[in-house]
Structure 1
Amino acid sequence: MKEKHTHYMKYLGIRIFILNICICFLLPAKAEVRLPHIFSSNMVLQQGRENPIWGWADKGERITLEIDGKTIKTKTGQDGKWKALLPVMNYGNPHTLIIKGKNTLQLDNVLIGEVWVCSGQSNMGMTVQSSKDAEKEIASANYPQIRLFSVPKALAQSPREDIEKGSWVECSPENIPGFSAAGYFFGRYIHQQLNVPVGIINSSVGGTKIQCWMSEDAAQNDPDVIVPYKYMKELAPEKVEDKIRNELASVLFNSMIYPIIPYGIKGVIWYQGESDRGRPEQYLRTFPGLINDWRKHWMQGDFPFLFVSLANYRNPVDEPGESDWAEIREVQTKTLSLPNTGMALAIDIGEANDIHPKNKQEVGRRLGLNAMKIAYNKDIVCSSPIFSSMQVEGNHAIVRFYTDGSSLMVKDRYGYIKGFAIAGSDRKFYWAKAELLNDQTVKVYSNKVNHPVAVRYGWANNPSDLNLFNLEGLPANPFRTDDWPGITK
Structure 2
Amino acid sequence: MKRMLTAVLAVFLLTTLPLASVQAEIRTSAIFGNSMVLQRDQPIHVWGWANAGQAVAVDLAGHSANAKCDDQGRFDVMLDALPAGGPHNMTIKSGGETVTYGDVLIGEVWVCSGQSNMGWSVGQSNDADLEALSANYPKLRLISVPQVGTQEPQDSFKGQWEACTPQSVPNFSGVGYFFGRQIHQTLGVPVGLIDNAWGGSAAEAWVDRDRLANAGSFDDLLAKWEQTEQTYDHEKAMASYEARLKKWQADRKGNRPRAPRNVLAGQHRPANLYNGVLNPIMGYTIRGTIWYQGESNAGRAYQYRELFPMMISAWREDWKQGDFPFYWVQLADFKTEQQSPGPSDWAELREAQTMTLSKLPNTGEAVILNLGEASDIHPKNKQDVAKRLARWALAKDYGYEIPYRSPTFKSMTIKGNQAELTFDFVGSGLDTFDVNTPIGFTIAGEDEVFVPATAKIVGKDTLVVSAGDVETPVAVRYAWADNPVCNVQSREGLPMTPFRTDQWKGITADVTK
TM over 0.5: yes
TM-score, length-normalised on structure 2? 0.88
Query: Could you tell me which of 413, 416, 441 is aligned with 2:437?
Result: 416
Identity of aligned residues (%): 44
Q: How many angstroms apart in 2 are the aligned matches of 1:237 and 1:318? A: 43
CA offsets per residue over residues 82-127 of structure 1, 9 Å max, x none? 1211211010231111122222211111111110111111001100
Could you tell me whether the CA contact under 8 Å between 2:426 and 2:461 is conserved in 1? no
Q: Does the alignment pair 1:219 with 2:212? A: yes
- Cα deviation for residue 381 of structure 1 reads 1.6
Kept after mapping to 1: 8 A contact 2:35/2:105? yes
Residue 236 of structure 1 and its aligned partner are, at CA, apart by 10
1:198 paired to 2:219:
no
Which of the two has higher C-alpha Rg?
A: 1
Give the counterpart letter for 1:80 in structure 2: G
The question of whether the paired residues in 1 share the 8 Å contact of 2:149 and 2:273 is answered with yes
In structure 2, distance between residues paired with 1:314 and 1:404: 28
Q: Which residue of 1 aligns with 2:253?
A: none
In structure 1, the residue matched to 2:47 is 54
Match of 2:292 in 1: 271
2:422 matched residue in structure 1? 400
SS for the counterpart of 2:85 is coil
Write the mapping of 1:276-355 to structure 2, written as runs, cut at 5 A.
276-337=297-358, 338-355=360-377
Deviations 1:318-374 (A, max 9, x none): 111111100000001100011110000111100000000001101100000011122
CA distance in 2, matches of 1:70, 1:420: 59
- For 2:37, the equivalent position in structure 1 comes to 44
Rounded Cα–Cα distance in structure 2 between residues aligned with 1:327 and 1:105: 51
Whether the aligned pair in 2 keeps the contact of 1:381 and 1:404 (CA below 8 Å) is no
Contact kept? 1:228, 1:247, Cα under 8 Å: no
User: What do you get for the CA RMSD once the two structures are aligned?
Assistant: 2.2
In structure 2, what is the equivalent of residue 470 of structure 1?
490
Distance 1:49 1:349 in 2: 36
Query: Closer, same or farther in 2 for the Cα pair 1:228/1:436, shift >3 Å?
Result: closer
Count of residues in Structure 1 that have an aligned counterpart in Structure 2: 473
SS in 2 for 1:279: helix
Query: Cα–Cα, structure 1 residues 227 and 445, in superposed 2: closer, same or farther, change >3 Å?
Result: closer
CA distance in 1, matches of 2:160, 2:459: 53
Q: Which amino acid aligns with 2:53?
A: G
Other-structure match for 1:110: 104
TM-score, length-scaled by structure 1? 0.92
Greater displacement, 45-54 / 154-163? 154-163
The question of whether the paired residues in 1 share the 8 Å contact of 2:392 and 2:405 is answered with yes
Q: Contact (CA 8 Å) 1:468, 1:475: kept in 2 or not?
A: yes
Structure-2 residue corresponding to 1:457: 478
> 1: distance between equivalents of 2:123 and 2:156?
28
How big is each residue's C-alpha offset from its partner over 1:3-25, in whole Å with a ceiling of 9 and x where there is no partner?
xxxxxxxxx2x343246668979
Once residues 126 and 96 of structure 1 are traced to their aligned partners in structure 2, the CA distance between those partners, rounded to angstroms, is 33
Amino acid at match of 1:475: P
After TM superposition, the structure 1 stretch with the greater mean CA deviation from structure 2, 270-279 or 402-411, is 402-411
Which amino acid in 2 is paired with 1:425? E
User: What is the CA distance between 1:261 and its match in structure 2?
Assistant: 1.3
Q: Secondary structure, in 3 states, of the residue corresponding to 1:372? A: helix
Which runs of structure 2 are paired with 1:79-158 in the superposition (5 Å)? 79-101=72-94, 102-158=96-152
Gaps of 5+ in 1: 1-11
1:3 match: none
What per-residue deviation string (whole Å, max 9, x for no partner) do you get for residues 392-446 of structure 1? 1011110111125431112245x21110111111111111111000110011011
Q: Which whole-Å CA distance do the structure 2 matches of 1:488 and 1:85 have between them?
A: 45
Amino acid at match of 1:200: L
2:383 aligns with 361
How many angstroms does 1:79 deviate by? 1.5
**Superposed CA offset, 1:20-79 (max 9, x none):** 668979xx9311211211101111101111111011111232222222122322222222
Gaps of 5+ in 2: 15-20, 236-260
Query: Per the alignment, in what secondary structure is the counterpart of residue 263 of structure 2?
Result: coil
Alpha carbons of structure 1 residues 397 and 155: separation in structure 2 relative to 1, 3 Å: same
State the alpha-carbon separation in 2 of the partners of residues 147 and 434 from structure 1.
47
Distance 2:344 2:480 in 1: 7
- How far apart in 2 are the matches of 1:368 and 1:389? 28
Distance in 1 between the 2:110 and 2:7 partners? 54
Correspondence 1:256 to 2:296? no
Match of 2:413 in 1: 391
How far apart, in 1, do the equivalents of 2:473 and 2:208 lie?
45
Q: Distance in 1 between matches of 2:233 and 2:192?
A: 35
**8 A contact 1:35–1:54 mirrored in 2:** yes
Aligned residues of 1:229 and 1:250 also touching (Cα < 8 A) = no
CA-to-partner distance for each residue in 1:128-179, whole Å, 9 max, x for gaps?
A: 000011111111111111111101110111212222x111110111100110
Tell me the CA shift for residue 228 of structure 1. 4.9
Q: Aligned residue for 1:6?
A: none
Indicate how the Cα distance of structure 1 residues 176 and 339 shifts in structure 2: closer, same or farther if over 3 A, else same: same
Moved more, 198-207 or 397-406: 397-406
Answer yes or no: is the 8 Å Cα contact 1:407–1:470 preserved in 2. yes
> What is the CA-CA distance between 1:194 and the residue it aligns to?
1.2
Residue in structure 2 matched with residue 68 of structure 1 by the alignment = 61
- Tell whether 2:454 aligns with 1:433: yes
Q: For 1:140-179, what aligned pairs fall within 5 Å after superposition? A: 140-163=134-157, 165-179=158-172
**Alignment-mate amino acid for residue 277 of structure 1:** A
Q: Secondary structure at the match of 1:107?
A: strand
- Which position in structure 2 is the counterpart of 1:16? 4
CA contact (8 A) 1:222 1:286 kept: no
The amino acid across from 2:412 in the alignment is M
What is the one-letter code of the residue matched to 2:4? I
Contact 1:47–1:88 (Cα < 8 Å) also in 2: yes
Check conservation: 1:322, 1:460, Cα contact below 8 A: yes
**Matched residue SS, 2:280:** helix
Q: 1:104 to 1:235 in 2, by over 3 A?
A: farther
